[in-house]
Chain A
């Protein structure tokens, strides 16, 4: 009997761990509201970095913009990610959605994207050259190797589940072209989105109540705001770096 109890506890451990780490419960949201926002910089607008193409410049050009500061004349910031933090219930997360990072013209396209944790990420090479997609999970100033895939041929597509095994910020680099840099936010809830060319973002079907909205940008950093969402209404926010 004691043995049975031990076995039961042992078997339950992964279950408990599993539910503890899942944290997010998805269901249709009927009383939801929408968060509409814009990400801006105040003061001087930083210029995008120009990187020298040291290899395959015949195909990719002599220089390439880093897409680090894609900011409009009025200060609206593209390639920022707006996401809710600590949300445990809301609309279902679609892990079947096809999400792709393309290696094209010696850059990762899109430069930044949001993907569901435990979803499958596709990696494509559209260039006629060797790329390798080297993913790291970034925490603070530490980066941890996740996977490093060779893509030697044009048109090659690889699909890997393990890239999105854990939630968090993934940095993707190409060792063959050290100037290439992309980002993927792995989120275990569907409330995350990349800002558009006007720095705007929309998070729909957010359960009514108070939420923490985090905005991340690769160079500008992070900012957190408390947002109160009312059923059937739009809540406007402006994030300034």
Chain B
């Protein structure tokens, strides 16, 4: 016992001296063997398919996901409450499992109880020896409670967003269009995109203001997103948070119908962009085409915003989407053949241009054509724009392997790219030859296709939507408020009459009152 005490003190001192003040201040917690074994059972059932039996991120499912499943042996994790480069805490890992990684292949696992999560985390920690190294265990940082959001704070934040060069990757309005964006790579040398800050629901670290604070303070390990921990005062941090927060709606609010409004006068393609200023857009989700050869598992454009107007003879439809870069070199077409599975095409990112297409049933009828460019019996009318040029093309689709150019009735197109947003307007005759007419008051089925040239998308390798509807709001309906107004006015007049009558009656009584009492 007498010998032990000095040894104890020495031991304690030794371990203190060996450490930097901010390093290795926590002891590793690896759980019990029974816990790790129980975690292994869960892991092999639920996680190994993507993360691999040995945790190297090389499971069978992994090939179809971008971002790829985490290599759990790397000790590198994006979402943490610890400093840049550090291991996550157990709570950080549990959080990611529980909530998933938004807009990636990592789903949320809300049904795991805390016991299962704990066991799973203990097992996951066996993949990287760093979790057992006392030198590598660090305490989490405190994320303060967010002050209330203010517009003034967001305005200050915008300046900080520029000064601190967040715009270099994310772009001024958060549409990923910073000059550095196209060259970004992750720790495994895979191309990686900056977050689209206009879509808060896709933020990997979560959408709350505290989440945003944590993300730029700790950085995202394994990605180019660096840590701003040493650079900003507390107040500036919240200003920056508020600017980022102001760039996005809370929810995507996806639509099923685009409402085209009737306008007076004719549509002039030259002036078309001003037609849409005061019209609310309808947002549609875009998926990768994974059904037919030319599969696109990694589509980069996740949503398209659509607006429409029509006049006596024309219809104008505007599609807008965020794109990291305007790819105007090379060419594109819906009819370019693509190999069966083409994850790492030999093509360069400059071979194919960005492109967009609208698709309608070629004939009005009760049967919808197959949404992948139609089928043998039911053709689709495709309006296509290769954004390397300034002219639209028209195709008839009878399946994605049977797309023929349609020389007649080509729509006009006007495309522009600004601050990370493509805006493409098609103008077409409402009664164009070879297409179904756009009748006022009708619902016209419509589907969208987007090609990101940077992503080597062409032909059937594309982002697409299923069928939605374009509704041409009829003229009468614009005035449908009139009968309501008329009835409302009439009711009001009757009410006035009644009130007048009652008041007159009451006034007579009031006048007689004193006499009654006398």
Is the Cβ of B134 less than 8 Å from the Cβ of A14?
yes
* Contact residues on B (Cβ < 8 Å of other chain), bracket: 35 or more
Type the 1/0 row for B1-43, where 1 means its CB is closer than 8 Å to any CB of A. Answer: 1001001101110110110101100000000000000000000
Which stretch (B217-225, B349-357, B501-509) binds chain A?
B217-225
A97 at the interface (CB under 8 A from B): no
Please tell me if B180 contacts chain A, counting CB pairs below 8 Å. yes
List A residues 16-38 near B (Cβ within 8 Å).
17-19, 21-22
Judge whether B437 is part of the interface by a CB distance below 8 angstroms.
Answer: no
CB–CB B22/A178 < 8 A: no
| Candidates B22, B163, B226; contact of A162 at CB < 8 Å | B22
- Find the B residue at minimum CB distance from A129: B165
Which chain A positions have C-beta within 8 A of B135?
Answer: 21, 165-166
Known A4-B1, A178-B183; judge A148-B226 contact (CB<8 A): yes
Q: Contact between A12 and B22 (Cβ–Cβ < 8 Å)?
A: no
Task: Please state if A148 and B183 are interface contacts (CB–CB under 8 Å).
Answer: no
**Would you call A22 and B221 a contact (CB within 8 A)?**
no
Whether the pair A150, B85 counts as a contact (CB closer than 8 A) is no
Point out the residues of chain B lying under 8 angstroms from A165, CB to CB.
20, 23, 135
Is A175's CB under 8 angstroms from B134's CB? no
Residue of A nearest to B162 (CB): A152
B-side interface mostly: loop
Given the interface pairs A150-B228, A165-B135, the reply to whether A145 lies near B15 with Cβ below 8 Å is no
Tell me whether B346 is interfacial, beta carbon within 8 Å. Answer: no
The answer on a CB contact under 8 Å between A152 and B231 is: yes
Find out whether the CB atom of B12 lies under 8 angstroms from the CB atom of A152: no
Q: Is the CB of B15 within 8 A of A14?
A: yes
B114 contacts the other chain (Cβ, under 8 Å)? Answer: no
A146 close to B (CB within 8 Å): yes
Are A8 and B226 touching (Cβ within 8 A)?
no
The reply on B187 being an interface residue by CB < 8 A is yes
Is B14 in contact with A15, judged by CB distance below 8 angstroms?
A: yes
Does A8 lie within 8 Å of B7, measured CB to CB? yes
Residue of B nearest to A178 (CB): B183
Task: Name B136's closest neighbour in chain A (CB-CB).
Answer: A165
Most chain B CB neighbours (cut-off 10 Å) among A15, A21, A153, A178: A15
Chain B neighbourhood of A15, CB < 8 A = 10-12, 14-15
The distance in angstroms between the C-alpha atoms of A163 and B449, with both chains bound, is 47
Closest partner residue, chain B, to A159 (CB atom)? B230
Given contacts A14-B134, A175-B224, contact A149 B11 (CB under 8 A): no
Do A148 and B227 contact each other (CB < 8 Å), given the known contacts A55-B179, A162-B20, A176-B180? Answer: yes
Residues of B within 8 A of A152 (CB): 163-165, 231
Q: Scan residues 176-219 of chain A and give those whose CB is less than 8 A from a CB of chain B.
A: 176-178
Q: How far is the CA of A143 from the CA of B84 in the complex (A)?
A: 16
Q: Tell whether, in the assembled complex, residue B23 and residue A18 are in contact, meaning their CB atoms are under 8 Å apart.
A: no
Please, which residues of chain A bring their CB within 8 A of the CB of B180?
55, 130, 175-177
Q: Does A8 lie within 8 Å of B84, measured CB to CB?
A: no
A109 to B133, CA, bound (A): 32
Q: How far is the CA of A149 from the CA of B84 in the complex (A)?
A: 8
Q: Which of B435-476 contact A (CB under 8 A)?
A: none
A7 to B227, CA, bound (A): 38
Instruction: Say whether, besides A14-B11, A165-B20, A143 and B228 are in contact (CB < 8 Å).
Output: no
Answer whether residue B185 sits at the interface, using C-beta atoms and an 8 A cutoff. yes
Closest approach, in angstroms, between the C-beta of B492 and any C-beta of chain A? 62
Contact A145 B222 (CB under 8 A): yes
CA distance A8 to B23 in the complex (A): 23
- B210 within 8 Å of A by Cβ? no
- Give Cα A118–Cα B163 distance, bound, in whole angstroms: 33
Closest Cβ of chain A to B418, distance in Å, is 20
B388 at the binding interface (Cβ < 8 Å)? no
- Judged by a CB distance under 8 angstroms, whether A238 is at the interface is no
A142 to chain B: closest residue by CB: B74
For A157, the closest partner residue in chain B by CB is B230
Binary per-residue interface labels of chain A (111-126) against chain B in the complex, 1 for a CB within 8 Å, 0 otherwise: 0000000100000000
A58 contacts B by Cβ under 8 Å: no
**Residues B1 and A135 in contact, CB atoms below 8 Å apart:** no
Whether A132 touches B226, Cβ cut-off 8 Å, given contacts A161-B22, A176-B180, is yes
Q: How far does the Cβ of A151 sit from chain B's closest Cβ, in whole Å?
A: 8
Question: Would you call B84 and A147 a contact (CB within 8 A)?
Answer: yes
User: B14 to A148, Cβ gap below 8 A?
Assistant: no
The answer to whether B368 has its CB under 8 Å from any CB of chain A is no
Cβ–Cβ contact B23 & A161, under 8 A: yes
> Are A150 and B76 within 8 A (Cβ)?
no
Partner of B225, one of A17, A148, A166: A148
Chain A nearest CB, measured from B21 CB (Å) = 8
Q: Does A136 contact B (CB under 8 A)?
A: yes
Select the residue from A150, A153, A158, A176 with max chain B CB neighbours within 10 A. A150
Q: Could you tell me the distance between the alpha carbons of A4 and B8 in the complex, rounded to whole angstroms?
A: 10
| Residue B184 lies at the interface, judged by CB distance under 8 Å to chain A | yes
Q: Which residues of B contact A147 (CB under 8 A)?
A: 83-85, 227
B75 contacts A by Cβ under 8 Å: yes
Docked complex Cα distance between A148 and B224 (Å)? 7
Which of B76, B86, B134, B230 is A158 in contact with, Cβ under 8 Å? B230
Interchain CA distance A134-B219 in the complex, whole Å? 11
- B166 nearest CB neighbor, chain A only: A152
Tell me, yes or no, whether B401 is within 8 Å of chain A by CB.
no
Are B179 and A145 neighbours in the complex by a CB distance under 8 Å? no
A148 to B228, CA, bound (A): 9
Q: How far is the CB of A184 from chain B (nearest CB, A)?
A: 14
B11–A148 CB distance below 8 A = no
Q: B58 at the A/B interface (Cβ < 8 Å)?
A: no
- How distant is A165 from chain B, measured CB to nearest CB, in Å? 6
Q: How far is the CB of B433 from chain A (nearest CB, A)?
A: 47
1/0 per residue B228-252: CB within 8 Å of A? 1011000000000000000000000
Interface presence of B391 (CB below 8 A): no
Q: Which residues of A lie under 8 Å from residue B10 when comparing CB positions? A: 15
A175 touches B226 (CB 8 A): yes
B227: chain A residues at CB < 8 Å are 147-150
A3 interface residue per 8 A CB criterion: no
Given A133-B226, A145-B187, A162-B83, 12 more A-B residue pairs with CB atoms under 8 Å apart are A12-B7, A12-B8, A15-B10, A17-B15, A18-B18, A129-B165, A148-B219, A150-B227, A162-B85, A176-B165, A177-B180, A178-B185
- Selected A-B contacts with CB under 8 Å, 11 pairs: A8-B8, A17-B15, A118-B20, A130-B180, A132-B224, A134-B224, A149-B84, A150-B165, A153-B163, A156-B231, A162-B23
Q: Which residues does A use to contact B, with CB under 8 Å?
A: 4-5, 7-8, 11-12, 14-15, 17-19, 21-22, 54-55, 118, 129-130, 132-136, 143-150, 152-153, 156, 158, 161-162, 165-166, 175-178
